[in-house]
A and B are shown apart, each in its own frame.
Chain A
Amino acid sequence: MTSRRLFLNKLLTGVGFALPFFGAHKLLNGEKSGYPVNTIQKEPAGTRIIRPPGAVKEELFLAGCIRCYRCQDACEDGAIQFFTESSGRHYHTPYIDPSIKACTLCMKCTKVCPTNVLQPLEEEDLQKVRMGSIALYRDRCLAHKAKYIRNEQRMLMNLGRSYKETGVIYERRGPCGECHMFCPVREKAITLEPGSLLAPVIHEKHCVGCGLCEEICRQVVRGTPAIVVVALRDRGAL
């Protein structure tokens, strides 16, 4: 056999080995439109998957990201972290953990990504970003606790107790509203309840998921933050 035929033979053997797998894959998954869907849907334990701004859908993200670390180079705020081996197929992909550092939406990472899995955005496109959504735990929020205690105090005073008796401070509380101050889409994603205690009200559909509120809340309450970003399981493109 000539060398070229031997070579072609080996190449075809390789293709032949791969074809049955390909066929099985197509059969098992049916004819789905769009991108092929991986069957493993578990997220690494205890991790919120918050991708940098402009990230495409999760399945396409895992397929398209070439794990080049350019987004981490570009993120001068140090917001972008990378998954390690223990995260399985998420290994070497970028995420943002607001409990370490929140994203300031400078959009630099979206401009360096070579593969378009972070789609290029300008800083003005801020409101298109959907990295995650927001949840508020009123029992941990200083302002909401203060409001609750104030109402209780008023009730007890109406029942005839003295001001001194009812004003026992048993937890950190007080007017706050820091999350509202730091939110880049404030008055949309976070508004303040009327009244002087600056208690936040959240509006999930406007939240861009940057985590700046969580970052500052962590410092204000000095512990588990009252306002946290939750991952969106299936982001749309942008």
Chain B
Amino acid sequence: MRVQFRGIQVFRRLVQAGTVSIIFGLFFLSLYAHYRKINVTGIFQFEISPIMERIMPWIEGLISGMDNPEEFLDNFKGSLWSLRVAGFDISDPLGFVEMTFASGTFYMPMFISILIPVVFTLLMGRVFCSWLCPGYLVFELGSKLRKLLRYMGLKTEGTAYSMSNKYIFLVVGLFAAFLFSIPLFVFFYPPAVLSRIAHGWVFSAAFFGGLWVILTILLFELFVSPRWWCRTMCPGGALYGLLGMLRPVKVETALSECTHCGLCSGVCEPGINPVTDSESIECDNCGACVTHCPEGALYYTIKRPKFNKIFLRT
């Protein structure tokens, strides 16, 4: 089977935009629930933020025909770190693993809430990173900016660190969480941090502490090491990578059509060579190489895992 279509990057951008709007949508629904309650009790004075003023009519239109709007609003809470959509709980596997290590307890409902992302990852690999994560999106835009800076003649370093650092970081971080019984990744794991920044903005909480984390990573990526965080540091990416190690869905090369032009290595988001290493643990099925190959030699396919190709020497 050979799945290959040129619009796949446009499709990926649409999915990423969809994730971002779902995050904001959930926050605005929650905030609307607050306003609604205050309006019903009518005791307190409040000011509605200008952006909420525009969005409120939409939400009111959405819930106007419902018998039980309160129950509907109760079923939409949270952010990408842990959310409830239409009554279903979905949590980030990293959050679950870290909470289990830090508190030493196993909580069944939370385990059930990570099953959907885990099954997805087992089948499709690290697609959370390349298709859903807002941090990935921000850092991708950062790498575009980096290209622009280079084009304008600015000197930037191109250091590449070992990609297996992130697995070490994951293990050490989990140990630290266990030792100090406090979760640590939550403070700099980009999807969680960006969710909280967006939450602070929607709820006018002026709560932008996490912004420094994102800015530091972004600056480091601009001037020292391209896509440093996702390639070599992210504990969440490491966990998703390990889960998706034996994925059946992967990118493959038709070697007879490949001219070894090297274009795909240049566009590959995790920074590997798709022709030789696309079955490895690092590939996150973003499909940039599939779109950019001038010969059309790369395609998605379904295959049994090859154990000798999983780990990379980087």
Contact = CB atoms under 8 A, between A and B. Distances in A.
Interface of A: 2-4, 6-7, 10-11, 13-15, 17-18, 21-22, 25, 35-38, 59-60, 62-70, 72-78, 82, 84-85, 89, 91-92, 108, 111-112, 114-117
B195 to A, nearest CB: 8
Nearest to B177: A63
Contacts of A112: 77-78, 84
A35 B74 contact: no
A100 to B, nearest CB: 11
A22 B110 contact: no
Interface stretch (B7-15, B91-99, B123-131, B218-226): B91-99
Interface residues of B, number: 59
B102 interface: yes
B116 to A, nearest CB: 13
10 contacts: A3-B312, A7-B167, A10-B167, A11-B171, A14-B168, A22-B178, A60-B103, A62-B182, A63-B183, A68-B82
B181 A70 contact: no
A27 to B, nearest CB: 12
Contact of B110 (A10, A11, A21, A116): A116
Interface in B183-236: 183, 186-187, 192, 195-196, 199, 203, 205, 207, 209
B82 A82 contact: no
Given A78-B34, A111-B74, A114-B82, 15 more contacts: A4-B310, A7-B312, A11-B164, A15-B171, A17-B172, A18-B176, A21-B179, A63-B183, A66-B95, A68-B79, A68-B91, A69-B195, A75-B34, A108-B74, A112-B78
B311 interface: yes
B172 A14 contact: yes
A63 B183 CA distance: 6
B61 interface: no
B139 interface: no
Contacts of B103: 35, 60, 63-64, 115, 117
Given A14-B172, A73-B27, A76-B37, A66 B183 contact: yes
B193 to A, nearest CB: 10
A115 B107 contact: yes
A67 B311 contact: no
Nearest to A81: B205
B299 interface: no
A22 B99 contact: no
A77 B33 CA distance: 10
Nearest to B102: A63
B99 A69 contact: no
B179 A67 contact: no
A35 B181 CA distance: 8
Given A69-B199, A82-B205, A114-B89, A62 B181 contact: yes
A22 B164 contact: no
Contacts of B82: 66, 68, 70, 114
A114 B98 CA distance: 13
B207 A82 contact: yes
Interface string B237-275: 000000000000000000000000000000000000000
